[in-house]
Amino acid sequence: EARESPRLVKRMLGGESIALISDAGTPLLSDPGARLVAAALDADVRVIPIPGASALLSALVASGISADQFTFLGFLPRKGGERESMLRVVARSPFTVVLYESPQRVSATLADLIDAGCGDRAMALARELTKRFEEVRRGTIQSIHDGTMGGLRGEVVLVIAGAVERAPSESEARETV
């Protein structure tokens, strides 16, 4: 993408039209295309989006979880402090959170969310959206984790309900005074 973007922008400046098509989703939503779009815009080339399949939006709609306000985080970092930081963002978010995840890491990610205190949160696990083997599983993070201990294939989207603010318990309230 880095190598081809300048060449493609040059062609567009020469009057050609270029279509950016992804074979597995919408360009720029955790798919390639950001460099080309940025280069085109920097060269004052008009960018016209054409709506197509989007796992993010399809999963959000099919989840049954509030879509009034949501945060898309793409793929979580695989490990380390960055991952822990993003898990805290998910745990604290009052908004619905949408994540992409590899089928090989779904179980570990759900376990990490449970460890972060999110086990009772509503969620949907959507896979292979807009494809032949499309599936959406709905429940709590804990129940979906318990039912997905392997065998997942294809693109996976996790839609997680936002955290509900709760009143502090008596002991928590005394600790803050």
Rounded Cα distance, 8 and 39, in Å: 9
Rounded Cα distance, 10 and 40, in Å: 9
Per-residue pLDDT reduced to its tens digit, 54-65: 889 999 999 999
**Global pTM value:** 0.78
* Residue 176 pLDDT class (50, 70, 90 cuts): low
Residue 25 in this model has a pLDDT that exceeds 70: no
- What is the three-state SS of 14-34? CCCCCCCCCCCCCCCCCCCCH
Beta bridge partners of 68: none
| Tokens encoding 28 | 């720029």
> Three-state DSSP class for 126?
strand
Rounded Cα distance, 102 and 104, in Å: 5
Residue 76 contacts residue 83 (beta carbons within 8 Å): yes
Rounded Cα distance, 152 and 144, in Å: 12
Mean pLDDT (whole number) for 142-163: 89
In this predicted structure, what is the pLDDT of residue 72?
A: 95
